[in-house]
Amino acid sequence: MRFVPVFLMVVGLQMGCATGSSLNTQSSATGTVLPGTLLNAVKTHWKGATVAAASHAAAGCADRQAQPPAYVSGDFNGDGAPDIALVLQTPSGMRVVAALFQTSDYRLTDVAASIDLTNATLSVRPRGAIYRVPDIAVDNYFSSDTILVKT
């Protein structure tokens, strides 16, 4: 088994409040429902967890028609399979979880639980996107799709 890191970038922005919604009916802005195998894995690992969906104000989209996504999808470990990242509200607090697809099931990876995720929204930076480290004059590029958490 090889270890593949899941990349996370945290960006601090002023946001509004987040709201929670049931794992049984969770859907994204496009109306797609989270896979049942993922929902079962989350419910087994974190009893009483809900997906923390961002409000329009939190996502900076008060004037838009669509609800901000409750989760994002990308290839976070570079294996070619679509993975899912979501913010969960658990009895012990909020956390960003990456669900890495493996054959027919998901492996859950707790990506961030130590930062304040109360007003967080998720997005994805695609593989090959440029990023810069402050005070370093070298361009860097994401080696796989990367979870961006706006707090």
Domain-located, residue 99: yes
Whether the CB-CB separation of 145 and 127 falls below 8 Å is answered with yes
pLDDT of residue 116: 82
Residue 1 maps to a domain: no
Confidence (pTM): 0.71
Q: How far apart are CA 139 and CA 18, in angstroms?
A: 34
Instruction: Tell me the per-residue pLDDT of 42-52, one tens digit each, with 9 for 90 and over.
Output: 999 989 888 87
Residue 134 lies in a domain: yes
- Domain contains 123: yes
Residue-range definition of the domain harbouring residue 104 = 8-150
- For residue 2, is it within any domain? no
Tell me how many domains the chain contains. Answer: 1
Span 91-106, pLDDT tens digits: 888 889 999 999 888 9
